[in-house]
């Protein structure tokens, strides 16, 4: 499989190592949006996009308009996600966005949704905490937002989230902490006057995300449509 990397930071380099080890080729590396035309000049089976929120929409639009299957892990831009999904459907393209490509995290999402559904019927108050490295620019993390959306969907009384501890029962509190050299940790807590339940996912190495991306690329590159990690998880 010929892979194009859009973005060549720490994640891009980690994906390159995993992909080469798995026997794939890196056919093109795009360092900035100015170099997007390189994609059209290369033999690309799938593009993997890990850049910055301000450039993600342009990068993904270019891929879809060029009939290049594309996977994105850039967070902080999803207010325009529906536009990209519509474009993909209009162009009969291939697109998958995920806030986190760790297989364990996506199983954690499934567990979170199940637990949120159960807890919505009981007298427990939810809260969240996420810890990442100091270089992470968005806060809360995209993974934390995905977890929060799963909780909110099951709790009619919770209207949204705030990025701090919450004293308002209608707002889910997400505490964000930035610590050097932490790949990622997410904790979902439920507490009542008599007991507490915590579920936690901890990433020990950044390569867990790169490994997940490559597995998804292998799965998606010959498919058509808009996909999620749930589609990938439940097809395996």
Known catalytic residues are 132, 136
What integer pLDDT is reported at residue 236 of this predicted model?
A: 66
Residues of the chain with CATH 3.30.360.10: 103-203
Between strands 184-191 and 125-132, the pairing is antiparallel
Residues of the chain with CATH 3.40.50.720: 2-97+207-234
Chain mean pLDDT for the chain: 93
What integer pLDDT is reported at residue 99 of this predicted model?
A: 86
- Residues 76-108 as b/e (b if ≥16 CB within 10 A, e otherwise) read bbbeebeebbebbeeeebbbbbbbbbbbebbeb
Q: Is the pLDDT of residue 156 over 90?
A: no
Of 133-137, 152-156, 197-201, the range with the lowest mean pLDDT is 133-137
* Mean predicted confidence (pLDDT) in 81-92: 97
Residue that wins the pLDDT comparison between 136 and 6: 6
* Euclidean distance between CA atoms 78 and 157, whole angstroms: 24
| CATH match of 103-203 with 3.30.360.10 | yes
Condensed to tens digits (0 to 9), the pLDDT of residues 19-60 reads: 999 999 999 999 988 899 999 889 999 999 999 999 999 999
* Euclidean distance between CA atoms 140 and 147, whole angstroms: 11
DSSP 37-54: HHHHTS--SEEEE---HH
Q: Is the pLDDT of residue 169 over 90?
A: no
Question: Are 89 and 114 within 8 A, CB to CB?
Answer: no
Contacts of 37 (CB under 8 A, 6+ apart): none
- Please tell me the class of the 2-97+207-234 domain: alpha beta
What integer pLDDT is reported at residue 41 of this predicted model?
A: 87
Portion of the chain with pLDDT greater than 90, in percent: 78
């Amino acid at each position: 499989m010929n892979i194009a990397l859009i973005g060549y930071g720490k994640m891009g380099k980690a994906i390159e190592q995993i992909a080469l080890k798995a026997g794939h080729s890196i056919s093109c590396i795009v360092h900035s949006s100015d170099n997007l035309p390189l994609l059209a000049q290369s033999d690309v089976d799938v593009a993997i996009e890990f850049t910055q929120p301000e450039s993600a929409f342009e990068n993904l639009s270019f891929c879809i308009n060029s009939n290049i299957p594309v996977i994105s892990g850039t967070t902080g831009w999803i207010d325009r996600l529906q536009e990209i999904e519509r474009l993909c459907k209009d162009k009969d393209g291939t697109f998958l966005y995920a806030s986190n490509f760790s297989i364990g995290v996506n199983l954690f999402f499934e567990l979170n949704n199940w637990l949120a559904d159960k807890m919505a019927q009981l007298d427990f108050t939810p809260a969240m905490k996420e810890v990442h490295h100091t270089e992470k620019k968005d806060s809360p993390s995209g993974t934390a937002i995905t977890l929060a959306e799963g909780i909110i969907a099951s709790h009619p009384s919770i209207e949204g989230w705030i990025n701090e501890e919450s004293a308002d029962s209608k707002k889910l509190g997400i505490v964000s902490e930035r610590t050097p050299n932490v790949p990622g940790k997410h904790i979902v807590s439920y507490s009542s006057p008599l007991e507490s339940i915590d579920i936690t996912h901890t990433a020990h190495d950044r390569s867990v995300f790169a490994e997940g991306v490559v597995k998804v690329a292998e799965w998606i590159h010959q498919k058509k449509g808009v996909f999620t990690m749930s589609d990938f998880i439940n097809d395996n």
